[in-house]
Amino acid sequence: MLINLVALGCTAPLTVLVLFPPVPNPTPAYTNWAILVFGVVAIFSGCYYAIAGRKNFNPPIRKDEYSL
C-alpha cells in the first residue's frame, strides 16, 4: 500500500505537468499536443468501456497454492 501511494504521489503531478506547453503563449508550432492525444484516448477508452468493456471483461482467475 505504501509503494502504491508513493507511486501515485509521483505520477499524479508529473501527468499534469507533462501536458503543459513548453513556452508561455505558444503558437501552434510550439503547442504541446499531448493533451489532445491524452483526451482522445481517455474519451475512446471510456466509451469503449461503457459500450462493450464491462460486458466482456473476464477477471483473472486466482490460483491459490492450496486449491485443487
Domain ranges in the chain are 32-56
Name the grid cell of 48: 469503449
Q: What is the pTM of this model?
A: 0.59
Sequence-separated contacts (24+) of 54-61 with Cβ below 8 Å: none
The rounded distance, in Å, linking the Cα atoms of 57 and 53 is 6
Kindly calculate the radius of gyration of the chain based on its CA atoms and give it in whole angstroms: 19
Tens of pLDDT, residue by residue over 5-55, are 999 999 999 988 888 888 888 888 888 888 889 899 999 999 999 998 888
